[in-house]
Amino acid sequence: MRPLLRLAWLAPILFVMPVCLPPAGGLAAPSPIRIGGSSTVFPVLQAAIAAYQKAGASRQVRFELKETGTSAGFRQFCAGQLPLANASRPINAKELKACAAKGVTFLELPIGFDAITVVVNPANTWASSITTRELARLWNQRATGSVKTWSQVNLDWPNRPIRLCGPGKDSGTYDYFNKAINGDERNSRSDYFASENDNELVSCVASNPEALGYFGFAYYQANAKRLKPLSVVGKKGVAMPSLASVQKEAYVPLSRPLFLYVNDKALRQRPELQKFVTYTVKNGLKLVKQAGYIPMPSSTYLLVESKLYRHVTGSAFGGDLPVGLTTGQALQRSLESIKKPEFR
């Protein structure tokens, strides 16, 4: 089943459960569970909310789900304004300090994998594969205002103008792609169409035969007839973005883990939040696959449940992006904390 991503541009999106109003003088309905952050992970939470409601969640549970970009989500999360943030990269050092300054402790829960997908318009007849060196030549900060044609990227490609479409600076995809391709998460050209809304990036590429863009795998999957993916030539050779290439750890360096971040105080104080997060993790394999991403092994979701149950707080990545790690290594690092003696 393909995710309903074409509706995602309606951000902010308000998911509202039917509410039974209490009698006069009765208790007010609980405040909604506010969720924000990554547009990449947005479809997973969208699927989780729909499934949770269908499974018979309390009629008084309401959700507010917004796609603002990972960085914007972390700003709200570390300010104590969100109990739950989704992210397409781990929390960074600056955000860790912001959370600490506000006394926000959290659980970092891996939920699945993504393959950042480089796409062109289906009318493009010359490009079917691109190397990481060519991607750097195209997207590096030094390319701003100077690399303007396809032939400047690859001499075998035509001398035609190139239209670029990519995530904005608040996107975790922006950070991860630039760290993986250009060596630093802020090392990106600035003269391109930028948006934290991946559906806008899909339209940018789909509407222009000269366009190239990059975004999360699910958005390609949901729009496969409108886009053409490129294979990426990295250290492990050539690989297409796919479930198999990510699970076999062949799609490098553009495969990455996806996360949920949960405010620990809110988790302890709000039973409705604890029930929803537990449901999402317990059904993670199905939900991630339904949303168009790559699920983790079923045994790994049990370990994530254990991390949630034991309230193992903090980040396993120390503020760094796990670029260069295999998917297995990234998972091992994110879950190694539950192996410590105090959590055995």
Residues forming a β-bridge with 231: 129
Helix axes 298-309, 327-335, angle to 10 degrees: 20
What kind of architecture, by CATH, is found in domain 5-112+257-343?
3-Layer(aba) Sandwich (3.40)
Cis before 297 (ω within 30): no
Q: Where are the domains of the chain?
A: 5-112+257-343, 117-247
Asked if 281 and 41 count as a contact pair (C-beta separation under 8 A), the reply is no
Nearest Cα neighbor of 169 from 142, 148, 144, 192 is 192
Q: Which CATH class is domain 117-247?
A: alpha beta
Backbone angles phi, psi at 94, to 5 degrees: -65, -40
Q: Does the fold of domain 117-247 match that of domain 5-112+257-343?
A: yes
For residues 170-177, give the mean pLDDT: 96
Residue 243 sits at the vertex; the CA angle it makes with 288 and 129, to the nearest 5 degrees, is 130
pLDDT tens, 63-73?
999 999 999 99
3-state secondary structure of 57: coil
Instruction: With a cut of 70, say whether residue 9 has pLDDT above it.
Output: no
pLDDT tens, 35-51?
999 999 999 999 999 99
With a pLDDT cut of 70, the percent of the chain lying above it is: 89
Amino acid type, 233: V
pLDDT tens, 112-135?
999 999 999 999 999 999 999 999
CA separation for the pair 15, 12 (Å, rounded): 10
Q: Determine the pLDDT at residue 88.
A: 96
**What pTM value is reported for the model?**
0.88
Amino acid type, 132: T
CA separation for the pair 80, 102 (Å, rounded): 7
* Mean pLDDT across the chain: 90
Nearest Cα neighbor of 114 from 330, 322, 292 is 292
Q: Which two tokens stand for residue 245?
A: 């290439």
Q: Are strands 33-37 and 63-65 parallel, antiparallel or unpaired?
A: parallel
With a pLDDT cut of 90, the percent of the chain lying above it is: 81
Q: Are strands 231-234 and 163-167 parallel, antiparallel or unpaired?
A: unpaired
CA separation for the pair 182, 301 (Å, rounded): 32
The count of other CB atoms within 10 Å of the CB of residue 36 is 26
15 Cβ contact partners less than 8 Å away, ≥ 6 residues apart? 49, 53, 62, 63, 64, 65
pLDDT tens, 293-325?
999 999 999 999 999 999 999 999 999 988 888
Nearest Cα neighbor of 124 from 211, 222, 193 is 211
